[in-house]
Amino acid sequence: MTILTILIAPNPILRKKAQPVAMIDESIKKLLKDMEETMHAENGIGLAAPQIGVSKQVLVMNVPANVDVDGELIEGLSAGPDLFFMINPEIINKSDEFATCQEGCLSVPKQYAEITRPATVWVRYIDENGEILEHEFNYLQSACVQHEIDHLNGKLFVDYLSTMKRDMLIRKAQKVLHQL
C-alpha cells in the first residue's frame, strides 16, 4: 500500500465531477486500500479519489456509527460498521431534519466551519466486492458521507459558506501548505 499526496484547494481537479467506475478490478481495489492508508496517515475520517488526483467515483470513510456530529460517543448505540469503501455512491434519500457539524477537510488543511446538512441520508453504492448496497447514515457518518460525495461532484465544504468566508479559508489553507 502507498500513502498518496492530497491535493490542496484551489487545485482545479477538486472542482471536476469524477467519472463513474465501470469495472471493479485490482486497480480499483488497490486505489481503495491506498486511500484508506492515506486517510489514516493524515488522521482523516474520509477521503474521496479526486482529493488524490484521481477522477473516479470512489471514496473511503472510517467513522463509528455511534459518534454524534460533535464527535461524542452516543451511549446505548452500537458502533456498527465504521469502515466503508464506496464506488459510484449516490444519495437516494435524505431526511427533512438537519444537523450542524464542525467540518474540516484534508484538501483545505487546518480550516473548519459549521456546515448544516440533512441529519440522515440513505446511500446506494457498490462495495469493493462488486455488491450493490444501500445504507442509512446518521450523525457524524451522515455528515462525512455527504462531504465525501460532494468531493465526487466537484464541491468542497467551503462552498456552503459566503464567498468572502470561503475565499478566506482557501487562502489560509494555501498558507498552511506553504509552511509545510
Alpha-helix residue ranges (DSSP H) falling in the chain: 26-41, 139-152, 163-179
How far apart (Å, rounded) are the C-alpha atoms in residues 124 and 86?
Answer: 9
152 closest CA partner among 18, 30, 45: 18
Q: How far apart are the first and last CA of the chain?
A: 24
Predicted local distance difference test score (pLDDT) of residue 146: 98
Q: How far apart are CA 12 and CA 40, in angstroms?
A: 24
Which residue(s) pair with 85 in the sheet? 60
Q: Where are the domains of the chain?
A: 12-179
- Which active-site residues does the annotation give? 148
Q: Which residue has the cell 456498527?
A: 80
The answer for residues whose C-beta is within 8 angstroms of residue 85's C-beta and 6 or more apart is 32, 36, 58, 60, 127, 128
Q: Is CATH 3.40.50.300 what the domain over 12-179 is classified as, yes or no? A: no
Q: What is the pLDDT of residue 59?
A: 98
What integer pLDDT is reported at residue 180 of this predicted model?
Answer: 64
One digit per residue, the tens of pLDDT, for the chain of length 180 reads 799 999 999 999 999 999 999 999 999 999 999 999 999 999 999 999 999 999 999 999 999 888 888 888 888 888 777 999 999 999 999 999 999 999 999 999 999 999 999 999 999 999 999 999 999 999 999 999 999 999 999 999 999 999 999 999 999 988 877 776
Specify the pLDDT at position 176.
Answer: 79
